[in-house]
Chain A
Amino acid sequence: MDGRVSISELEKVYGEGAERTKAIEDLTFEVDGGEFASVVGPSGCGKSTLLYLIAGFLDVTSGTISVDGNPIQGPGTDRGVVFQNYALFPWRTVFENVTYGLEEDGVPKEERQSIAQQYIDMVDLSGFEEKYPKELSGGMKQRVALARTLAYEPKILLMDEPFGALDQPLRESLQDQLLDIWGDLEKTVVFITHDVEEAVYLSERVMIMTRHPGTKKTVSEINLDRSGSREEIVTSDAFADYKNTVWKSLHEETQTEVTL
């Protein structure tokens, strides 16, 4: 399937001379097309930097990042980013936010409107088309941001702690909504979080990063039976085992952080 992200011997250095800091070192990782992969790590481990490198917002210092075999060159519509702070255009209504990418792509107006409506419905925001972002709650804003990103149909979703600013019940409902959408649309998802439970619940694989400079520490395959309800999943023994494994690996890193 399309949407494969290949990261090879990646290195990212910020600044020069005495200011020089290595954010990411020798990181090799592959996300299959259609896979849901999470990245967890202690704060400052470079996980957001990794996402911005994949997005093409930052330039790599050395190594390569490719999408379906083609090295990325800056931002592009094959990928879509969802930020923690939503990054909606405040001067545009919900509807106008969702049509932005289609406008830029030159999609004719009528088609634009039907596509936008389809994705607004998908995130359960019909009736809010003419609202401005300031009139929406955090959860609704994040759903608009998701619809805006989905509307121009990128193969890959890059999500930077998208639910980190939301309270627990809201976060859970958005997680389930994201899983439904992922199941329906067959997107590749690279999901950055510091929440172990969130990573295990959502992902097929979780990469744990070391602390400073960040690199791949371990990768956990998560083979959960996701046919049941959230309650059945999160109370299962398998879920607890995966969570413990990831937590222990992450905890070793946060321990080093404390002793430093």
Chain B
Amino acid sequence: MGYATSRHIEGLPAPLQRVAGALVDWIPLAIVVVLWDLISGAVVATAILPAPGTVAGKIVELFVTGQVFSHLYISLFRVVVGLGLSIIAGILLGIGMARSDPVENFFDVFLAMTYPIPKTALVPLAILWLGVGTSTAILIVFLACLLPIVLNSYNAAGNVDQNLIWSAEMMGTEGRDVLLKVIFPATIPEILTGIRQAVPIAFVALVSAELIASNQGMGYLILTSGQIGNYPRMFANIVVISAVAFVAVRLFEEVRERWLVWT
């Protein structure tokens, strides 16, 4: 919610503020849906841009018939595993590079080289190595999510207040324990920022991989729906995966806020 709107809302009684705030948040989306409804059938043929009502009906159908669930599960599984692996590897790599010159020298060149490559461009290569399926999708999600997490933890771990480290050393913390007891906790806020950036990227990478290299998953459903000309179903699947990604981001932000009471 913007600053200007929040100022208007502050004038309202407290219970109304929450409701009004929520409404304001959803106005842009409502406008898009209304425009979509107006354009569909009038400016653009319903065959290629089905009306929102039709798509909503398809979404209900997808869930009632249960045909979406197995695909949604496999997609979520791929996101969770790919993102999970990138979090573990990203933190280790980021902190390792920040605190050790050999590690930094070794990985710096790889990061610089892989940074500009769109990770989804590696799907054909991943198929060659891992075949069509879950492993390929996980690899692409992992690679796409790795960079934001590495870069955020790398920067933060390199900028930890030296006095914090010295204080801990003075109190008897030595060697690897400094990483665990000072550097890592001090870096948590930026690590979570990196993960926050990675969550939507994970879904982008997932769908891109599934569009090309999968026989299951939401990306596969979108592709096959389009191939058989069932555009309402294709749109329905796009809306479902977008909504899932949106909820994932919001949930993560909620968790982060609770975790970071100390910042």
**A interface residues, Cβ below 8 angstroms from B:** 55, 57, 74-77, 79-81, 83, 85, 87, 89-92, 100-101, 104-105, 132-134, 148, 152
Which 6 A-B pairs give the minimum distances between C-beta atoms? A101-B171, A87-B163, A104-B172, A132-B262, A75-B169, A75-B170
- Assess A90 versus B171: contact at CB under 8 Å? Given A57-B166, A81-B166: no
Sample (21) of A-B pairs whose CB atoms are under 8 Å apart? A55-B170, A57-B169, A75-B166, A75-B169, A76-B170, A76-B172, A77-B170, A77-B172, A81-B166, A81-B170, A87-B164, A87-B167, A89-B164, A89-B182, A89-B186, A90-B186, A91-B188, A101-B171, A104-B172, A104-B173, A132-B262
**Secondary structure type dominating chain A contacts:** loop
Query: Could you tell me if A89 and B185 are in contact, using CB atoms closer than 8 angstroms?
Result: yes
Q: Are B170 and A80 in contact (CB under 8 A)?
A: yes
Interface 1/0s, chain B 185-196, versus A by CB < 8 A? Answer: 110100000000
In the complex, what distance in Å separates the CA atom of A228 from the CA atom of B168?
A: 38
Whole-angstrom CA separation of A41 from B46 in the bound complex: 81
Interface residue? B261 (CB, 8 A): yes
The smallest beta-carbon distance between A231 and chain B, in angstroms, is: 35
Asked, given contacts A83-B163, A132-B262, whether A91 binds B170 with beta carbons under 8 Å apart, the answer is no
Residue B161 interfacial (CB < 8 Å): yes
> Counting chain B CB atoms within 10 Å of each CB, which of A80, A101, A152 scores highest?
A101
With A77-B170, A100-B171, A105-B172 in contact, do A85 and B161 touch (Cβ < 8 Å)? Answer: yes
In the bound complex, how far is the Cα of B141 from the Cα of A33, in angstroms? 61
Q: Cβ of A104 and Cβ of B188 under 8 Å apart?
A: no
**Contacting pair B167 A81 (CB below 8 A):** yes
Closest chain-B Cβ to A18's Cβ sits at a distance in Å of 23
Q: Which of A76, A79, A90, A148 lies at the interface centre, i.e. has the most chain B CB atoms within 10 A of its CB? A: A90
- Docked pose: A81 CA to B165 CA in angstroms: 12
- B172 contacts A91, CB within 8 Å? no
Contact B171 A152 (CB under 8 A): yes
Say yes or no: B186 contacts A91, CB within 8 Å: yes
